[in-house]
Chain A
Amino acid sequence: MSGADSAEHDQLRQVVRAFLTEKSASADVRRLIEAGERRDDQVWSQLAGQLGLTGIAVPEQYGGAGCGPVELAIVLEEMGAALLVAPYFATVALAAQALAASGDEDAMARWLPGIADGSLTAALAIAEDSGSWDLAEVAATAEPAAGGWAVTGAKLFVIDGHTADLLLVAAQAPDGPGLFAIDGKAAGVDRARLDALDLTRALASVALGAAPAVRVSIDRDPAAWLGQVRDLAMAALAAEQLGGAARCLDLAVGYAQVRQQFGRPIGSFQAIKHKCANLLLDVESGRSAVQHATEALAGGQPDASVAAAVAYAHCSRAFTRAAKECIQIHGGIGYTWEHDAHLYLRRAKSSELLFGPPARQRTRLAELIGI
């Protein structure tokens, strides 16, 4: 049992937290939302360059730090707390991990160094109209073409797909489902940001009309590859949700300590205390679940898939509940546009539905545990 964070992990957490406190304060988040931008270029280059965060889960031979799910989770937890507006989850947690899991050394050598040094952003496009991450539901097709492949189809719910430099697209090739790398600016790529709930993380539609592509070879059954990518993504997202839930609890507790009604702080009322204490149960449980899942993934433990699904299912509920209670405890002020509470609710509900309806996630978990 490894259990505890090491001193290095504590240090990583402190560094990221200090950086985000300075660079992703509420005013920064709001400025980017209003401008419709997906990142602050200077902040991105600092987090990539000085802090090396874009390379944290990239293998060392491709210019990364060679860390794994545990360290990525620490970074994402802090980013989730700060609602950082940047294509980090899409590029690092989804695309980089999908490439690294493919086993295609040419593809890794071609794109991972760019991701690691922050010069390349990427998006992973699996889902289509149904939102499903099941390869059997992928309708996009890939045909051999001069110098490579041509991909045709319509991808939906692609995180940061409208700005990504590189698109990694699942499509049906003549020999079965595969992964295809497409330059975001290539001819035949038509993409747009979707008008959707989450203001701090964009979803995009990506229409492909015989877009020129390079095939990323997958060294095993593509469904097994996607299963691993999804496990990694769920654990990473759970960590981000944990950070968001913990911040919602902090905001609620901070307000309940100072807001006076009936001549006393509202946090001295049992009804408010119990709400907050119950959120703490959710947050601490989430912390345990994320720690277990990321360590199980890092160590290749047999229960890693279940652990990732458990962490994601729990943290999904926990974050949404925390965001709703944060609004409730703030009362009227929590219902205003100016208060950040709704930004967390938007992120929470969006993250909860990212891989499909919660009911389907639970059905999948039932299958994983054999009931």
Chain B
Amino acid sequence: MTLERETTATAADEPDEVFRARLRDFFAAHHPGRPPKDPRERLPWTKAWLATLFDAGYAGPGWPREFGGMDLSFARQVIYHEEAARARVPGPLGTGLNIAAPTIIKYGTDEQKQRWLAPMLRGDVVWAQGYSEPEAGSDLPSLRTTAHADGDEYVVNGQKVWTSHAADADLFFALVRTGTRESRQRGITYLVIDAHAPGVQVRPLRDLTGGHLFAEVFFDDVRVPAANRIGAENDGWRLARTSLGHERAAGALNQAAMYRRVLTELEELARERGLLADPLIRDQFVDLEIRVRIIRYNAERTIGAILARGDAGAASSVSRLLITAFEQDIHEFAVDLLGPAGLLAKSAPQAVQRSRWLTGFLRTRASTIGAGTREIQLNTVAEQVLGLPHDPGLPPR
């Protein structure tokens, strides 16, 4: 691994359009092509792409330069994500980049930053999340996985669940209980755990699609150096909710563009099959059309607000709720449109478009569960945006 770059990727005085053209050229020249068919080859394939990006100075658009990032302005980050989406290059590996990195950048020690950030960005080390537990889902502050201090180490015992990319993970960023069982948010510590350490066991979890996106992770007397603790003991809850500026909003337009594409593809399918003559079907398309456009308008408004006043505003808090409902509805509508043919799975020779819509119908059940259920998110919006009172029957937030 090298921190030396072939090029200096950002010249601050470079005009936006020159920057965009340079990115476009780079993505075109180095695009890794289609992902390999054999799932076992996908991890090295993705890692090779991330290393290519990193070594050329095109990784981490919102990250500080000292950790291998590009330190782009928000406007430039938007351009970066537009070009990445346009080129359809592979995305990041694991959830560390979006969720753990901001916490490390903001609260990690210098040694931790040096040790973890660049290898994460380059794809050399894959990170996975250890938050949810069988008994701690929406009520995450009730989590029970314990960490006891023992000399300059912690000893971790417990179980995490719904961990995506666990099978590929080298490190888990986990929330563990260091306080009393009743301490809730005040007794949680942020710990980075070696996935290959003795006592760690990963068991793939078969999800309702039949796939293995998630795993259960068991910790049995796993010894973790205290140097892997981020922030102070019992201060992990606050740290876990860190974001890096408006980094995530910079890619908001791409998700909108992706669903625009998906809807257009479904319209083409309906047209080919002669279904658009039906006024009831047309009406449902109009509904989805309105929604997909509004998802884009929301993204534009959020980005515009950040550029103009550095504040994402309320539009950003509703975007995810709109998108998750949309992705569920469009896939179910597609399956309905196809009738019995919509029921055929991938290996059936008569399957339509390799069963993408049926797969999506099943897969998107997770959209309104993962990363906070729709019900919890609506509560959050009601309390934090609208100022409605917290349920007095529940523990404080």
Of A111-119, A216-224, A260-268, which binds chain B?
A260-268
- In the complex the two chains form, what is the Cα distance from A274 to B303 in whole Å? 26
Task: Point out the residues of chain B lying under 8 angstroms from A287, CB to CB.
Answer: 301, 315
Q: Are A267 and B389 within 8 A (Cβ)?
A: yes
Interface size on B, residues (CB 8 A): 43
Chain A CB within 8 A of B274 CB: no
Q: Are A273 and B388 within 8 A (Cβ)?
A: yes
- In the complex the two chains form, what is the Cα distance from A367 to B215 in whole Å? 47
Q: Are B290 and A288 within 8 A (Cβ)?
A: no
Q: Are B390 and A371 within 8 A (Cβ)?
A: no
Chain A CB within 8 A of B387 CB: yes
- In the complex the two chains form, what is the Cα distance from A253 to B385 in whole Å? 11
Chain A CB within 8 A of B341 CB: no
Q: Are A280 and B297 within 8 A (Cβ)?
A: no
Q: Are A280 and B286 within 8 A (Cβ)?
A: no
Chain B residue with the shortest CB-CB distance to A249: B386
Interface string of B310-330 (1 = CB under 8 A from A): 000011011001100000000
Q: Are A277 and B285 within 8 A (Cβ)?
A: no
Most buried by B among A5, A288, A362: A288
Chain B residue with the shortest CB-CB distance to A258: B389
Chain B CB within 8 A of A67 CB: no
- In the complex the two chains form, what is the Cα distance from A323 to B118 in whole Å? 53
Q: Are B308 and A288 within 8 A (Cβ)?
A: no
Task: Point out the residues of chain A lying under 8 angstroms from B287, CB to CB.
Answer: 362
Q: Contact size class for A? A: 35 or more
* Residues 270-296 (chain B) with a chain A CB within 8 angstroms: 271, 276, 279, 282-283, 285-287, 289-290, 293-294
Q: Are B388 and A288 within 8 A (Cβ)?
A: no
Contact with B322, one of A268, A285, A306 (Cβ below 8 angstroms):
A285
- In the complex the two chains form, what is the Cα distance from A292 to B305 in whole Å? 13
Contact with A265, one of B279, B282, B389 (Cβ below 8 angstroms):
B389
Contact with B392, one of A268, A272, A280, A313 (Cβ below 8 angstroms):
A268
- In the complex the two chains form, what is the Cα distance from A306 to B297 in whole Å? 13
Of B44-52, B220-228, B374-382, which binds chain A?
B374-382
Q: Are B303 and A3 within 8 A (Cβ)?
A: yes
Whether A277 contacts B378 in the complex (CB less than 8 A), given A264-B392, A268-B392, A366-B286, comes out as yes
Chain A CB within 8 A of B383 CB: yes
Whether A257 contacts B388 in the complex (CB less than 8 A), given A288-B294, A292-B300, A366-B286, comes out as yes
Q: Are A270 and B379 within 8 A (Cβ)?
A: yes
Q: How far is the CB of A310 from chain B (nearest CB, A)?
A: 5
Chain A CB within 8 A of B134 CB: no
- In the complex the two chains form, what is the Cα distance from A40 to B279 in whole Å? 46
Q: Are A280 and B304 within 8 A (Cβ)?
A: no
Chain A CB within 8 A of B111 CB: no
Chain A CB within 8 A of B40 CB: no
Chain B CB within 8 A of A1 CB: yes
Chain B residue with the shortest CB-CB distance to A362: B286
Chain B CB within 8 A of A363 CB: yes
Chain B residue with the shortest CB-CB distance to A253: B386
Chain B residue with the shortest CB-CB distance to A273: B382
Whether A280 contacts B389 in the complex (CB less than 8 A), given A3-B303, A310-B294, comes out as no
Q: Are A1 and B300 within 8 A (Cβ)?
A: yes
Chain B residue with the shortest CB-CB distance to A264: B392
Q: How far is the CB of A73 from chain B (nearest CB, A)?
A: 14
Q: Are B379 and A313 within 8 A (Cβ)?
A: no
Chain A CB within 8 A of B309 CB: yes
Chain B CB within 8 A of A27 CB: no
Q: Are B378 and A285 within 8 A (Cβ)?
A: no
Chain B residue with the shortest CB-CB distance to A371: B285
Chain B CB within 8 A of A4 CB: yes
Q: List 28 A-B contacts (CB under 8 A).
A: A4-B305, A4-B308, A4-B309, A5-B308, A268-B392, A270-B391, A273-B379, A273-B382, A276-B388, A277-B321, A277-B378, A277-B386, A284-B317, A285-B294, A289-B293, A289-B294, A291-B297, A292-B293, A310-B293, A313-B286, A313-B290, A362-B283, A362-B286, A365-B289, A366-B282, A366-B283, A371-B267, A371-B289
Q: A-contacting residues of B (Cβ < 8 Å)?
A: 267, 271, 276, 279, 282-283, 285-287, 289-290, 293-294, 297-298, 300-301, 303-305, 307-309, 314-315, 317-318, 321-322, 375, 378-379, 381-383, 385-392
Apart from A3-B303, A3-B307, A280-B382, 10 more pairs, CB < 8 Å: A3-B304, A4-B301, A253-B387, A273-B382, A277-B321, A280-B385, A284-B318, A313-B286, A365-B290, A366-B283
